[in-house]
Amino acid sequence: MHNVADHQNKNKICLVTGAAGFIGSHLVRCLLGAGHRVTGIDSFTDYYDPKIKWNNIADLLQHPQFDLIEDDLIEALESLPQAVNWVFHQAAQAGVRASWGKEFEIYTRQNILATQRLLEWARMNKPERFVYASSSSVYGDVEKLPMHEDDALKPLSPYGVSKLAAENLCTLYYKNFAVPTVSLRYFTVYGPGQRPDMAFSRFIRAILTEGELVIYGSGDQTRDFTYVNDIVSANLAAASRPQAVGRVYNLGGGSRISVNEVLSILADLTGRPVKVKYGDVQEGDPLHTFADTTRAKDELGFCPQIEIEEGLKLMCESMQSRAER
């Protein structure tokens, strides 16, 4: 894939929102490794234990090229460095299942309003690139697979609606004010450090502790699982390739398998029995996802490196060693 350390892309000043989260912390680590300067913002909300996020970036806090702003994104905009080359907007209130009911207010503020305010900031401060982390949830349940960027977008959850609204704002600011936005639609990202509420984290934790794991639905639902390092590489390509400006890309790992198949791989990897309890299908969860990544391949050089078996093995090893520590 595209080498970020190309001569013309050295020593960029980067802003990463959601810098202590699962994907954000991997991205920050990669940017620092490539010689860039990074300002990270994170509000350390309690959607899951903030200690996990502090652990994600513990080794980065001493890095001379990294500054962390611990604040709400909207409040933090006043204190941002003005000369920023690349913006990576990873921050969002996550979770399909939690987005119904009264909680939606949090999603409108953190996912829609915060994105609009950050775009206004970008309009004034003119970064070279503004990369937005969108989601496959903008598609909803589709009639044909794989999902293509130009398909109709019909989110199934309030979370999906909020991610699509923010993606639409990015397009508007590009078309009206030439803010150089790129939107990346992530398909089920996994890997070491994955959020504790996400499926693979829950599955592996249950298996390692010999507990029971709950599957929503029959387990026949399929997902296009994407390893976190492949997502990070695509972010760097989206920031540095001229043809990416104003575009939207699907990022899928090309590993579309069912939840039951995942459990069978995990049983093989861990050599442990898997105790499964099947529960009700959750509102807002599509039955299948599968990304057409032709555009990302052609324009970003996106080529996922990690197959599902290898990715799950790395994730199991990471969670096992954390548990032992």
- 166 is a domain residue: yes
- 322 is a domain residue: no
Residue 45: is it exposed, middle or buried by C-beta count within 10 angstroms (0-12/13-18/19+)?
middle
pLDDT tens digit sequence for 136-162: 999 999 989 999 999 999 999 999 999
Residue of 159, 173, 190, 227 marked catalytic: 159
* Residue 8: count of CB within 10 angstroms of its CB: 6
Flag whether pLDDT at 114 surpasses 60: yes
- 197 is a domain residue: no
| Residue (of 156, 270, 261) closest to 199 by Cα position | 261
Q: Give the chain's mean pLDDT.
A: 94
- 1 is a domain residue: no
Q: Residue 75: which domain range?
A: 7-187+227-252+290-304
- 193 is a domain residue: no
pTM of the model: 0.95
CATH of the domain at 135: 3.40.50.720
* Residue 257: count of CB within 10 angstroms of its CB: 15
- 313 is a domain residue: no
159 given a catalytic annotation? yes
The Cα 72–Cα 67 span in angstroms is 15
CA distances from 212 to 26, 104, 177, 274 (A): 30, 30, 52, 8
The answer to whether 185 and 136 are in contact (CB under 8 A) is: yes
Q: Which residues contact 271 (CB under 8 A, 6 or more apart)?
A: none
> For 235, how many CA atoms within 13 A lie in the half-sphere containing its CB?
28
- How many domains does one find in the chain? 1
- 270 is a domain residue: no
Token pair 């099947």: residue: 278
- 51 is a domain residue: yes
pLDDT tens digit sequence for 253-302: 998 999 999 999 999 999 998 999 999 988 888 999 999 999 999 999 99
